[in-house]
Copies of this chain bind each other. A is one copy, B any other.
Amino acid sequence: MAWLFNDPDQFADEMVVGFAAAASRWVRHVPGGVVRSTRGSEPTVSLVIGGGSGHYPAFAGLVGPGLAHGAAMGNLFASPSTQQVHSVARAADQGRGVLLSYGNYAGDVLNFDAAQERLRAEGIECRTVLATDDVSSAGPDEREKRRGIAGDLVVFKIAGAACQAGYDLAEVERVASFSNDRMRSLGVAFGGCTLPGADEPLFTVPEGRMAVGLGIHGEPGIEEVEVPTAAGLAERFVSTLLGEVPDGVDVRGARVVPILNGLGSVKYEELFVVYATVHRLLEEAGIEVVDPEVGEFCTSFDMAGCSLTLLWLDEELERLWTAPCDTAAFRRGGVSGQQQVAAEEIEAAVAAATEIGEASDVSRRAATRVAEALDAVAAVLDEHADELGRLDRVAGDGDHGIGMQRGSRAARDAAHEALEAGAGAGTTVQRAGDAWGDRAGGTSGAIWAAMLDAFARSIGDEDAVEAAAVAEGVRQAEEAVERVGGAAVGDKTMVDAIVPFVRTLTERVGAGDPLPQAWDAAVQAADQGAESTKELTAKLGRARSHGEKSRGTADPGAVSFALVVGTVGGRLWGA
């Protein structure tokens, strides 16, 4: 729906004023629409486009160097009047003739034709090329009756680039018309749009249904089906459009521009998910995808829907499609002196950053024990996931159990993978931490990743993992937690367990205790910290179940920390 307007009757006029103010780098407001505010060094044929408003960036957003010279802007979803088209064309004309181009709708044809007649009577050479790309609006033997939808952009871009390249009017007409012959679109809709000031949508689609071929003003489609998956829609788009390949084109080896257009409420992220399958299917059909476009090129206010257009290139169309242009809403080119980097080069850089480094035998043996310890940790956290979730629900969003479960599983798998690749103890712990943070998500995921990373760096891939090294490693881990998490002892977070753990371990190792004993003592200290969290949590839970307002928070990070170090203890240093 529309939220922002003043007097709905003035909406279209105010929109033009706002657009012209925002886009003064490209356009200037003239009666009936806008024309370019810039000029090149030589006069060219002028391209004048237009139609009803409500389809931005069509049409005014496409005026500028390399694209259109002017746009006649009708009221919302209403053709511009003859006078509007005439006025814009007169202002855009540079003495080399005018190409009128727009989507095939009766009202537009009426008014653009009348304007063309008047321009010719005034001695201005004038031709017309319509966009007729919507395959669902008429059969392949009546292509001239089809409506124009997002394929408008193709005809405009090709014609605008031809003007810019110095073509004469007949040649601009020829290539624009050829581009229309070489393109097909299919659109679908999930819901209509509501114009400013209207109480209800202009048209609707039943919930959960998809109207195939529904026009951008609600013109009837060809069928209504259940909303498919993104991949299902991509398959329908591609199979329909590959079912009507332009004459003389061989699909295998063809160079094709796909344009996936959103109508307003279907957003970019969804379009990219659909495009992933479109791209794959086109490649599987032996097509070379060129310069695709995914976004909003011809909207219908906030209508929910999208369309796929395929443009089957030849050498000339490819040159014109990829030529630079600069408009408020569609631009190509811009920064010179750039070159493409080979895919292999980027892959090599990524591989280098994640390469398993050299490691000593002693560190590799320690890595084996790390992986075994992580097997045990993942198993214990699996067991305790529900309990940790329950604890978290008192003070948080209840996802701590599942986060620790996911994180520790991923860490276990990553550790084994690193081990097989010959990693030392440090790298194995680091890979485990990376995977933990990546899969667990949330604050605790990030803290575990930081903690394991700090520990890993401290123990490295060379030295034996002996008592002093472990004590130094956990000290570094504690620092990382405090730095990253920003909490202090008593905040009822993981810090309440790690601080006594590290203090005890450092003291006992310093006093000459063997690591296994020192570690066990440290685990007991961590357990005490965790207990106080559990007590507070229980108290909070009781208070809340009696309807009291919550005071304080307690996250179960200390509890899960104690669990993990308790599990590790017996394995990593016990053997």
A38 within 8 Å of B by Cβ?
A: yes
**Least CB separation from A291: chain B residue:** B25
A442 within 8 Å of B by Cβ?
A: yes
Q: Assess the B331–A22 pair: CB atoms within 8 A.
A: no
28 chain-A/chain-B pairs, Cβ below 8 angstroms: A2-B267, A4-B230, A4-B266, A4-B271, A6-B229, A14-B276, A15-B272, A18-B273, A19-B272, A19-B294, A36-B341, A38-B341, A66-B335, A78-B441, A79-B446, A81-B434, A81-B441, A82-B437, A83-B437, A84-B438, A106-B443, A110-B446, A111-B437, A111-B446, A117-B484, A295-B329, A325-B335, A332-B334
Q: Which residues from 1 to 55 on chain A have a C-beta closer than 8 Å to any C-beta of chain B?
A: 2-6, 11, 14-19, 21-23, 25, 28, 30-31, 35-41, 53-54
A453 within 8 Å of B by Cβ?
A: yes
Q: Assess the A334–B333 pair: CB atoms within 8 A.
A: yes
List chain B residues, Cβ under 8 A from A434.
81-83, 86
A575 within 8 Å of B by Cβ?
A: no
Question: Interface code A106-122, partner B: CB below 8 Å = 1, 0 otherwise?
Answer: 11001101100110010
How many angstroms between the C-alpha atoms of A61 and B293 in the bound complex?
Answer: 12
How many angstroms between the C-alpha atoms of A516 and B6 in the bound complex?
Answer: 50
Interface residues of A, CB < 8 Å — how many? 130
- Give how many copies assemble into the complex: 2
List chain B residues, Cβ under 8 A from A270.
2-5, 196
What distance in Å separates the Cβ of A471 from its nearest Cβ neighbour in chain B? 20
Q: Assess the A324–B329 pair: CB atoms within 8 A.
A: no
Residues of chain A having any CB pair with chain B under 8 Å? 2-6, 11, 14-19, 21-23, 25, 28, 30-31, 35-41, 53-54, 56-57, 61, 64-66, 75-76, 78-79, 81-84, 86-87, 90-91, 106-107, 110-111, 113-114, 117-118, 121, 164, 190, 196, 210, 227, 229-231, 233, 260, 264-277, 279, 289, 291-296, 299, 301-302, 304, 306, 324-326, 329, 331-335, 337-341, 343, 346, 349-350, 353-354, 434-435, 437-438, 441-443, 445-447, 449-450, 453, 457, 480, 483-485
How many angstroms between the C-alpha atoms of A338 and B331 in the bound complex?
Answer: 15
What distance in Å separates the Cβ of A154 from its nearest Cβ neighbour in chain B? 17
List chain B residues, Cβ under 8 A from A480.
114, 117
Q: Assess the B230–A272 pair: CB atoms within 8 A.
A: no
List chain B residues, Cβ under 8 A from A91.
346, 349-350, 353
Q: Assess the A18–B346 pair: CB atoms within 8 A.
A: no
List chain B residues, Cβ under 8 A from A266.
3-4, 302
List chain B residues, Cβ under 8 A from A450.
82, 114, 117
How many angstroms between the C-alpha atoms of A335 and B331 in the bound complex?
Answer: 9
Q: Assess the A484–B114 pair: CB atoms within 8 A.
A: yes
Since A79-B446, A326-B335 are in contact, a sample of 15 more A-B pairs with Cβ atoms closer than 8 Å, ordered by chain A residue number, is A3-B270, A6-B230, A15-B276, A22-B294, A37-B340, A56-B272, A57-B268, A86-B434, A91-B350, A110-B446, A110-B447, A114-B437, A266-B302, A324-B335, A333-B334
